[in-house]
Amino acid sequence: MTANLLDYDLEGLAAFCERLGEKRFRATQLFRWIHQKGAHDFDQMSDLAKSLREKLKVSAHVQALPVVSQHESADGTIKWLFDVGDGNVIESVFIPEADRGTLCLSSQAGCAMGCRFCSTGHQGFSRNLTTGEIVAQLWFAEHFLRKKLGRSERVISNVVMMGMGEPLQNYGALLPALRVMLDDHAYGLSRRRVTVSTSGVVPKIDLLAQDCPVALAVSLHAPNDALRDHLVPLNLKYSLSDLLNACLRYLKHAPRDFITFEYCMLDGVNDQPEHAEQLVRLMREFGGTGVPCKFNLIPFNPFPASGLVRSTPAAVAAFAQILNSAGFVATVRKTRGDDIDAACGQLAGDVKDRTRVGERMGAQRRIMLKAIVPPNPGDLKHETI
Ligand code: SAH
Ligand code: SF4
């Protein structure tokens, strides 16, 4: 097995070059070819010595993920499903806005956290993604979009780890992937523009603060332990108080001076005025000084097995109003890509269905899977749901 160069941050690639008997600085050239130019063929890398290219050909490769499908929404949102083997499919979503291009990435196939309102949680856990599989989503999307839009400079300005999986449960693979995103020789994203979203893996929040303090989003969803225990079972291990203390510690290192709290709005469950009031008291009083934060209210994306219902727009507005009047910024997440099921929590259900179809189709499905190397817009099959 040859090495997948998407598995390495620059330090790892330098160590790999040394193992090949090459100078470490060669890694920078190689890194730029792969990530800045989207190259995967060593023969394309014209400023590398022929001897190095020959060594690379026998010892390394750049492993793209086979694209199962691409769906493009009327609003420009694009969702890709990638095959990661053994019937597992993950997704990435590109969300274009006037001033930015955001890519939402997956960190695991499935998720073990079992949050009640999340279809990835209902699907269960298959496995952690490798660094290469996390980076491959960005590598593919960035270079695909550049070609599609005819742009030579960066298209993706923001990355959010809000796809499938709990990124902090896959810390070992996540960390080098974050370093690739931030590296000026690769994607050069600023720490403020890379967001890790977590359901609250407290020890790993502390590690991230030390190792790579990017922007942090915490999936809160409840203003008290009893309700959060029910909605986010991880709360039984790390209580609200443990979690908020970790947030306060993180803020000392964070690139932003607030934590974003995500709050999935569930009809009659966590969306009542008393929940908002309790949330205000918690955030004002916690730790004596309160928690500097913003709220992102996410209308629940329903799926049948959940038995839950989306809050009414009136309930969401009233909830936001209570937070706003108490001086907190609270935004309601716009639903993007609704027509392609690209919104939070809808993705895994879709994947699961596809996987079942895939099982039925057996070998036929494998033929449908298509490795896109190099990313080429013309090669992709566009489907409408
Ligand atoms: N595991 C991480 C990141 C992935 S989930 C986390 O939980 O933070 C990204 C966001 O989508 C989280 O805030 C999650 O709570 C939210 N989410 C999950 N399922 C949802 C659903 N059905 N409707 C709305 N938001 C959902
Ligand atoms: Fe996992 Fe996040 Fe879904 Fe919870 S909300 S089950 S942590 S992906």
Q: What is the per-residue DSSP string for 212-253? A: ---EEEEE---SSHHHHHHH-GGGGTS-HHHHHHHHHHHHTT
Q: CA-to-CA distance for 156 and 334, rounded, in angstroms? A: 19
Nearby residues of 42 by Cβ (< 8 Å), 6 or more positions away: 48, 53, 56, 57, 60
- Count CB atoms within 10 A of the CB of residue 290: 17
Fold of 3-61: DNA polymerase; domain 1 (1.10.150)
Amino acid identity of 14? A
Q: How far apart are CA 320 and CA 339, in angstroms?
A: 26
Asked if 91 is an active-site residue, the reply is yes
End-to-end alpha carbon distance in the chain? 38
Domain ranges (residues) in the chain: 3-61, 67-352
Is the shortest distance between the CB of 91 and ligand 1 below 6 Å? no
Task: Among the bound ligands, name the one nearest to the CA of residue 243.
Answer: 1
Residue 110 beta carbon below 6 angstroms from any ligand 1 atom: no
* Six-digit token string for 226: 């009893």
- In the numeric block, the tokens 């919104």 are attached to 343
Cβ atoms within 10 Å of 65's Cβ, excluding its own: 26
Structure confidence at residue 335 (pLDDT): 67
Predicted structure pTM score:
0.91
Which amino acid is located at 92 in the chain? S
CA of 177 to the centre of ligand 2 (A): 20
Q: According to the model, what pLDDT value does residue 373 have?
A: 32
- Write down the H helix ranges in the chain: 10-19, 26-31, 50-59, 119-123, 131-149, 171-182, 202-211, 225-231, 240-251, 273-285, 313-325, 347-361, 363-368
Domain 67-352 falls in which CATH fold?
Answer: TIM Barrel (3.20.20)
- Asked about 118 being catalytic, the answer comes back as no
Q: Of ligand 2's atoms, which has the minimum distance to the CA of residue 197?
A: 2
pLDDT given at position 374:
31
| Gap from CA of 23 to ligand 1 centroid (Å) | 44
Per-residue pLDDT 10s for the chain (385 aa) are 899 999 999 999 999 999 999 999 999 999 999 999 999 999 999 999 999 999 999 999 999 999 999 999 999 999 999 999 999 999 999 999 999 999 999 999 999 999 999 999 999 999 999 999 999 999 999 999 999 999 999 999 999 999 999 999 999 999 999 999 999 999 999 999 999 999 999 999 999 999 999 999 999 999 999 999 999 999 999 999 999 999 999 999 998 999 999 999 999 999 999 999 999 999 999 988 999 999 999 999 999 899 999 999 999 999 999 999 999 999 998 766 666 666 554 554 444 443 333 333 332 222 222 222 333 433 333 332 2
